[in-house]
Amino acid sequence: MPVAVRAIFIAILLTALPLAAGVWVAGDETDDTPTGPAPYDSTALKDYDTSTVSITRAGFCERVAPEAVSEALGAEATDEESYGNGDPTELVPKEVDVAHEYGCTYVAADGAEARAWVFAPPVTADRAGELVRAAEETAGCEKQPGSEAYGAPSVTLVCDDRQRRIATYRGLFGDAWLSCSLGLPGRPGDRELLDRTGRWCVAAAEAASAT
């Protein structure tokens, strides 16, 4: 090989080697860019085994997932309140009483309202049966037969007031009586209302869970 040609060949080879090495190193690098938190994924009540859940009779509102509240209301909450055992609380409109429960309420701008509460005193199975029967007799409410269990015993109601349709699940978890409700403005169908309420109630149970 002539000397001039050999020199050119060596120059090309020396130039190509660093370029090839650079490509190999770049291709071997991994992308460590953070992907961010996973999107909130709610659980339908029909997919949630409440028979295995243990509820604590104590405050739980600080553990409620904000995403669960927004999903239930269909918007961000514009007002929220929590209360504890012994606190003066407006448990029914325009009537302030001393609470014997722990609970929280979230309200959206359009009037949608999500609530959850657990009794402070322990509840026996006999007392739970009385609570179920009393709930079934609530004026303006209809029992929903065949609905998913929310503890044992439990009861599911759909109620109407002047502003909202309200679904509520109530039930006994061990010795803890846990209730949750979702009220939506307008005339949502029962299927939509119960599904959204069920998902909200799962989130409430998870927040109030002893584990």
- Centre a 10 Å sphere on the Cβ of residue 108 and count the other Cβ atoms it contains: 20
Its pTM surpasses 0.85: no
Long-range contacts, stretch 45-50, CB < 8 angstroms, 24+ apart:
45/148, 45/150, 45/169, 45/198, 45/199, 45/201, 45/202, 46/148, 46/198, 48/148, 48/202, 48/205, 50/149, 50/150, 50/151, 50/152, 50/154, 50/171, 50/173, 50/205
Average pLDDT score over the chain: 85
Lowest mean pLDDT among 22-31, 32-41, 66-75, 132-141: 22-31
CB 118 within 8 A of CB 102: yes
Our count of domains for the chain comes to 1
Query: Is 1 domain-assigned?
Result: no
pLDDT in tens, 168-206: 999 999 999 999 999 999 888 999 999 999 999 999 999
Query: Is 68 domain-assigned?
Result: yes
Query: Is 25 domain-assigned?
Result: no
Query: Is 2 domain-assigned?
Result: no
Average pLDDT over residues 132-159: 96
Show the domain range for 198.
Answer: 45-208
Average pLDDT over residues 63-70: 97
Give the Cα separation of 169 and 157 in Å (integer).
7
